[in-house]
Chains A and B, each alone.
Chain A
Amino acid sequence: MRWQIPLLIVFIGGVFMAVQYFVPLEFSERIYEYCVDWIIIVGVFAMGLGLWSLFRVSVSKIQTKAPAWKYNFLTLAGLFSMILLGLFSGIEEGKAFMKLFWYIYTPIQASMFALLAFYVASAAYRAFRARTLVATILLLTAVVIMLRLIPLGSVSGLNQNVASWILTVPNMAAKRAIAMGIGLGGIATALKVVLGIERSYMGKD
């Protein structure tokens, strides 16, 4: 009950869905759509666990007066106001629910994203040192690509050609090789799960 049946479910589900991909028949299509809904539905119910986890950790930080515990009131306030507004006042554009989304979440999201402009610079400064041959290759390529945007008179034309060669030849080769490696590793991992060899996600009794 505790092990065999779940592992059997994984196996049957995995084999069935993998085979389904090659069968274009209508019933195969319908089963695929139905099964994808399973994933969505399990995810919806799991969200309850997620919210509970967030709530409990925030509350316990307040109770134990962990560092910066006072701020957890803000988390709880944000969480509950969104849920209550969403359930009882609707989520149409112009409602308070969407206002909070547009004027709190969106600017924070955009600003976090924009921080990357600073971090790209600091990471480049710190990491791009010609310590080894490999590091030098990394550094020089990055610089050549960045120089595209800098006017250097007649050098620019040459640099443009070098940059586009880098992008279409070695860069392309690297991307493809990495993709193939990831593909093999990923399929092997999926097979291990389907065959029940890899089961750490199910825990131990």
Chain B
Amino acid sequence: MKNKFVIRNKVLPIFLLLFSFFLFGLHTSSAQEMGIPVAAPISSAEVPAPPMNVAAKDAPNDNGHAIIVKWKLSADDGAGNKNVLSYEIWRSDNPDTGFVLRGLVPAGTSQYLDRGARDKEDKNYFPSHKNFYYIIRARSDGSYSESTVSAPAYAYGQWIHTGKLSILFTTALFTFFVVLFINWAKKGKKLYVRPIAGIDAIDEAIGRATEMGRPILYILGLGSAGELGTIASLTILNRVAKKTAEYQTPLLVPVADPVVLTVAQEAVKAGYYEAGRPDAYKEDSVWYITSMQFAYVSAVNGLMLRERTATNIYMGVFYAESLLLAETGNVAGSIQISGTDQVAQIPFFVAATDYTLIGEELYAASAYLGKEPLLLGAIKAQDWGKILIMISLILGVLAASFHLDFIVNLFRIKL
């Protein structure tokens, strides 16, 4: 619902845990217990041809607790007698004895990732650096055949994930651009930045609120403090606070996350400092309501209607509440400026607020508002990033059209 960052990191381990339980169940229970009848006595089936060329090797790009097994399909799988139903993967640390069932895959599959847990206490513990042997069984309805024992293989961890090399390379390149252009900016190079409608509107809107003697409402959205949209919004909040401190316009910042509460307080305080009015900063101008999406929105909506805020600024990470806020602000007669990095919510902000910073414009605004050369350097880097994307895209589309798949594959991520 909200707080995507934290939730993701909370849910992921749980999911992985559950998933390992699932795998564990798959590996240790016999096929019969799993409800897959192994040998229901229906017909006297012919014994299928055995799978061939079983080869085991360490699974790449992992933490060293998995082996990948490949084999050649049985001659009766999809051809011949066509009676192969499934393959069973059996493993032992001794080539002659002690094989246990590790997994089961449907016919037509010729590889299996035998992954285990990394903790010794785990029942499904898969030791690293220990040799294992594999046998593959081809099952038909009522009968089976076995491959020969594979050569030994052991699992070990890798230092670098080769499937993520494209991410590593592009991230490094872009980091280089950012550092380069920030240094450029430090040396005093003039950088042009085109006008962005929503940004100029912020200044006007603050002026309007001052004339009307009514407060400005600043909403940081539902993102956690670790989300990029929230960070961009904090910078904008800092600039807005500086302006409101200069004009002595009240600023209301209700937030939906306790960590965001602290960083927003700091950003506002810093704004008042920069304006030379630290004494005018009131800690309660930034306050926490609740972290639950719709309860938060109901309170903010009530606030808008009662305080008749002159200007509402929505910047950051927004979900379904975007339109609830924007429509209520409209009823209250406020000027509204919005910006979000949530693609699905941009349409509602575009429709219901006066100015919208679309996607990347939100980040540009955070750099642009201060006109600090250091921050502007990053905008230049972003533009170079776009040029690179466009060149890659043109190359990629041409390569795909002429079936030069190796170029397209440069951009592929294999997880």
Whether the complex brings A and B within 8 Å at their CB atoms is answered: yes
Chain A residues engaging chain B, CB cutoff 8 angstroms: 18, 21-26, 28-29, 33, 36, 39-40, 42-43, 46-51, 53-54, 56-57, 60, 67-68, 105, 108-109, 112-113, 115-116, 119-120, 122-124, 126-128, 138, 175, 178-182, 184-193, 195, 197-198, 200-204
Could you tell me if B269 and A108 are in contact, using CB atoms closer than 8 angstroms?
no
Could you tell me if B61 and A203 are in contact, using CB atoms closer than 8 angstroms?
no
Could you tell me if A122 and B327 are in contact, using CB atoms closer than 8 angstroms?
yes
Give the complex CA separation of A189 and B316 in angstroms.
13
Could you tell me if A182 and B346 are in contact, using CB atoms closer than 8 angstroms?
no
Could you tell me if A201 and B382 are in contact, using CB atoms closer than 8 angstroms?
no
Binary per-residue interface labels of chain B (58-91) against chain A in the complex, 1 for a CB within 8 Å, 0 otherwise: 0001111100000000000000000000000000
Q: A25-B64, A185-B360 are in contact. List 11 more A-B contacts (CB 8 A).
A: A24-B61, A24-B158, A26-B65, A46-B258, A67-B307, A68-B302, A120-B323, A185-B382, A197-B374, A198-B375, A201-B267
| Residue numbers in A under 8 Å from B323 (CB-CB) | 116, 119-120, 123
Among B37-45, B92-100, B289-297, the one that faces the other chain is B289-297
Could you tell me if A105 and B295 are in contact, using CB atoms closer than 8 angstroms?
yes
Could you tell me if B266 and A202 are in contact, using CB atoms closer than 8 angstroms?
yes
Give the complex CA separation of A57 and B282 in angstroms.
12
Shortest beta-carbon distance from A98 to chain B in Å: 15
| Residue numbers in B under 8 Å from A180 (CB-CB) | 386, 389
| Residue numbers in B under 8 Å from A200 (CB-CB) | 234-235, 237-238, 266-267, 270-271
Could you tell me if B287 and A57 are in contact, using CB atoms closer than 8 angstroms?
yes
Could you tell me if B261 and A46 are in contact, using CB atoms closer than 8 angstroms?
yes
| Residue numbers in B under 8 Å from A185 (CB-CB) | 228, 232, 341, 359-360, 362-364, 382
For this complex, 28 residue pairs linking A to B, each with C-beta atoms less than 8 Å apart, are A22-B164, A23-B159, A23-B160, A24-B61, A29-B118, A39-B9, A40-B9, A43-B6, A49-B258, A49-B262, A53-B261, A60-B284, A113-B320, A123-B348, A126-B352, A128-B351, A138-B351, A179-B359, A188-B178, A189-B363, A191-B378, A192-B375, A192-B378, A193-B231, A195-B182, A200-B238, A201-B231, A201-B267
Shortest beta-carbon distance from B64 to chain A in Å: 6
Could you tell me if B327 and A123 are in contact, using CB atoms closer than 8 angstroms?
yes
Chain B residues engaging chain A, CB cutoff 8 angstroms: 5-6, 9-10, 13, 61-65, 118, 128, 157-161, 164, 167-168, 171, 174-175, 178-179, 182, 224-226, 228-229, 231-232, 234-235, 237-238, 257-259, 261-263, 265-267, 269-271, 273-274, 284, 287-295, 297-298, 302, 306-307, 320, 323-324, 326-327, 330, 341, 343, 346, 348, 350-352, 358-360, 362-364, 366, 374-375, 378-379, 381-382, 385-386, 389
Shortest beta-carbon distance from A57 to chain B in Å: 5
| B234: nearest chain-A partner, CB-CB | A201
Task: Please tell me which one of the listed residues A47, A105, A188 contacts residue B258 in the complex, with CB atoms under 8 A apart.
Answer: A47
Task: Please tell me which one of the listed residues B290, B320, B341, B379 contacts residue A182 in the complex, with CB atoms under 8 A apart.
Answer: B341
Give the complex CA separation of A119 and B65 in angstroms.
53
Shortest beta-carbon distance from B174 to chain A in Å: 6
| Residue numbers in B under 8 Å from A25 (CB-CB) | 63-64, 157-159
Could you tell me if A178 and B343 are in contact, using CB atoms closer than 8 angstroms?
yes
Give the complex CA separation of A64 and B3 in angstroms.
33
| Residue numbers in B under 8 Å from A113 (CB-CB) | 294, 320
| A30: nearest chain-B partner, CB-CB | B118
| Residue numbers in B under 8 Å from A138 (CB-CB) | 350-351
Give the complex CA separation of A197 and B161 in angstroms.
30
Could you tell me if A43 and B327 are in contact, using CB atoms closer than 8 angstroms?
no
| Residue numbers in A under 8 Å from B351 (CB-CB) | 123-124, 127-128, 138
| Residue numbers in B under 8 Å from A198 (CB-CB) | 231, 235, 375
Give the complex CA separation of A173 and B142 in angstroms.
53
Could you tell me if B6 and A54 are in contact, using CB atoms closer than 8 angstroms?
no
Shortest beta-carbon distance from A23 to chain B in Å: 6
| Residue numbers in A under 8 Å from B164 (CB-CB) | 21-22
Could you tell me if A188 and B378 are in contact, using CB atoms closer than 8 angstroms?
yes
| Residue numbers in A under 8 Å from B179 (CB-CB) | 195
Give the complex CA separation of A81 and B164 in angstroms.
50
Shortest beta-carbon distance from B53 to chain A in Å: 28
Could you tell me if B324 and A112 are in contact, using CB atoms closer than 8 angstroms?
yes
Could you tell me if B359 and A39 are in contact, using CB atoms closer than 8 angstroms?
no
Shortest beta-carbon distance from B214 to chain A in Å: 13
